[in-house]
Structure 1
Amino acid sequence: MTELIFAKSFIQTLESRPFKITADHVEDPKNYPSRGATILPKMRKPPAKRQKLAPGQERSIYVSLKSSRNPPLDVTLSALSPNTSILNLKESLSEKEGIPVEKLRILYNKKPVGDAKVLKDVIGEEETKVEFSIMVMGGAASVRKVDTPEKGAEAPVAQGPSGLESLAGEEFWSDLQGFLVQRLRNEEQGNKVFEVFKKAWEGSSK
């Protein structure tokens, strides 16, 4: 009996509503059922398509050599062979900036790269661009190549601090920092050890 009463009540409710929705009908958004927000998954980055090279053709690599420290450097070398060695990069940079090759250190992902390695050993077989960090050992002014004085001209006697006085100059600390980074083969760890040395000296000299 209860089911019959419910059915009659439901039919009466339906009959009280219009059979058709009017053209100007607007549903109240408050009556919408609550739903969780739908978040679409992120699109995956399509893999880079490998370029097909003609027989005998070799890919060219663009190399950026940068240093934010003193001296600031920003050199771009284009159309390099994948077999270009790190030593070749140093020699090219030395010619452009006048810095001796032995004073240059090249880092990739904050780690020193050996002179014997070639570009394809560092970046793989697919990449065509790479950025290296440059570290100049011994500071800026001290490593710049200078013109050889004419024969017969007397070379001036070197003047400058010696002994403990050299610790007050930036050149000594720059050399020490470069040595630690090269020795530890990690720029971040080398800088941390350098800061410990410098703070210890400054504390003992007060």
Structure 2
Amino acid sequence: MTEVSFAKAFVSALDSRPLKLSADHVEDPRSFPAGRPAHILPKMPKPMSKPQATSSQPAKALTVTFKSLRNPPLDISIPPQDLSTSMHALKSSLESASGIPSAKLRLLYKKKPVPDSKVLKELLTEEEIAAGLDNLELAVMVMGGANVKPPVSAEPEKKVAETEAFWGDLRGFLLQRVKDEKEGGELYDLFRASWEASKD
């Protein structure tokens, strides 16, 4: 008889015997034999130390950075966002910053797509929140057919000829070429008067 077969036979023999103690058995300590004293465990010399809170504050807002290595290349950071900010709101912020329609943008975190319904807090682990993480990088995938609009400037650009710097350079050039201050001044006045007349 091998050891394995012996162990199986022994266990099956034990299974066939009736249980002497039920699973919820409770014994009255007063029924213990008088000659056997109860053993009381000693108290611990030091109380168990409680985990101390870390000095770093939990993250409440995150600076979000959008990066795309493919065409069009993007590297845009937006101001700190609350942890309850949705991905849809982030895409709207990215649309206003890059000019790419939000419908053509896909956000990825750790190489996995993130649905619009998720919020920033759902992307982070409890450890990252407790550690006070303050920056989050999201990859951006731009779907086909998206045209990047140039950012709209707040002020209309002036034409070069409308700037005083241009006319100052022209006066200096004429004086240098003609080498006569009076004649150079007359040519300058003629050029400027002609240009002013052509505007009207």
Normalised to the residue count of structure 2, the TM-score between the two structures is 0.42
Which of the pair has more CA radius of gyration? 2
Q: Which fold has the larger relative contact order, with Cα–Cα distance below 8 Å and residues 6 or more apart in sequence?
A: 2
Normalised to the residue count of structure 1, the TM-score between the two structures is 0.41
